[in-house]
Amino acid sequence: MTEQHATQTMAGYPFLDIVDFVERTTYAIWNDRNPGLVPTWYPKHSIIWTDSGDLLGEEVVTADTAERRKGFSDYYGVIDDVIWTGDDERGYRTSMRWVAHGTHDGASRLGEPTGRRVANSSISHCVVLGDQYVEEWAGGNPKTFREQLGHPVDEFVRTNRPTAAPTGEASRERTRSLGATVPAIPEVVDGAGLVVTDLLDRLYNRRDLTAADRGYAPGAPYSFGTSRIGFGPAGVRAEVERWHRLLPDLHLEVEELYWNNDTPDRARVAVRYQITGTATNDTGEQRPVSLMGFHHVHVRGTLVVAEWAEYNEIALLSQVG
End-to-end CA distance of the chain: 41
Provide the pLDDT for residue 100.
95
Do 124 and 241 sit in the same domain of this protein?
no
Give φ, ψ of 260 to 5 degrees: -115, 125
Q: Which of 177, 202, 226 is the last residue of a domain?
A: 177
Do 97 and 195 sit in the same domain of this protein?
no
* Residues counted in the chain: 321
Number of domains, the chain: 2
- Separation between Cα atoms, residue 268 and residue 298, nearest integer Å: 5
Residue 4 lies in a domain: no
Provide the pLDDT for residue 5.
42
Q: Which of 177, 209, 243 is the last residue of a domain?
A: 177
Do 52 and 195 sit in the same domain of this protein?
no
Do 109 and 223 sit in the same domain of this protein?
no
Residue 304 lies in a domain: yes
Provide the pLDDT for residue 302.
96
Cα 34 from chain centre: 23
Range of the domain at 110: 18-177
Residue 131 lies in a domain: yes
Do 54 and 156 sit in the same domain of this protein?
yes
Under 8 Å between Cβ of 77 and 69: no
Under 8 Å between Cβ of 318 and 288: no
Do 161 and 201 sit in the same domain of this protein?
no
Provide the pLDDT for residue 7.
57
Residue 214 lies in a domain: yes
Residue 6 lies in a domain: no
SS3 letters for the chain? CCCCCCCCCCCCCCCCCHHHHHHHHHHHHHCCCCHHHHHHHCCCCCEEECCCCCEECHHHHHHHHHHHHHHCCCCEEEEEEEEEEEECCCEEEEEEEEEEEEECCCCECCECCCCCEEEEEEEEEEEEECCEEEEEEEEECHHHHHHHCCCCCHHHHHCCCCCCCCCHHHHHHHHHHCCCCCCCCCCCCCHHHHHHHHHHHHHHHCCCCHHHHHHECCCCEEEECCCEEEEHHHHHHHHHHHHHHHCCCCEEEEEEEEEEEEECCEEEEEEEEEEEEEEECCCCCEEEEEEEEEEEEEEECCEEEEEEEECCHHHHHHHHC
Q: What is the CATH number of the domain that holds 288?
A: 3.10.450.50
Provide the pLDDT for residue 272.
98
Residue closest to 298 by CA, chosen among 273, 263, 252, 274: 263
Do 168 and 46 sit in the same domain of this protein?
yes
- Separation between Cα atoms, residue 302 and residue 45, nearest integer Å: 41
Do 168 and 36 sit in the same domain of this protein?
yes
Do 123 and 207 sit in the same domain of this protein?
no
Reading the chain (321 residues) residue by residue, the pLDDT tens digits are 344 444 567 888 999 999 999 999 999 999 998 889 999 999 999 999 999 999 998 898 888 888 888 889 999 999 999 999 999 999 999 999 999 999 999 998 888 999 999 999 999 999 999 999 999 999 999 999 999 999 989 989 999 999 999 999 999 999 999 999 999 999 999 999 999 999 999 999 999 999 999 999 999 999 998 888 999 999 999 999 999 999 999 999 999 999 999 999 999 999 999 999 999 999 999 999 999 999 999 999 999 999 999 999 999 999 998
Residue 159 lies in a domain: yes
Do 136 and 280 sit in the same domain of this protein?
no
Provide the pLDDT for residue 11.
86
Do 63 and 143 sit in the same domain of this protein?
yes
Distances (CA, A) of 214 to 205, 257, 305: 17, 22, 12
The mean pLDDT value of the chain amounts to 94
Do 26 and 173 sit in the same domain of this protein?
yes
Cα 84 from chain centre: 13
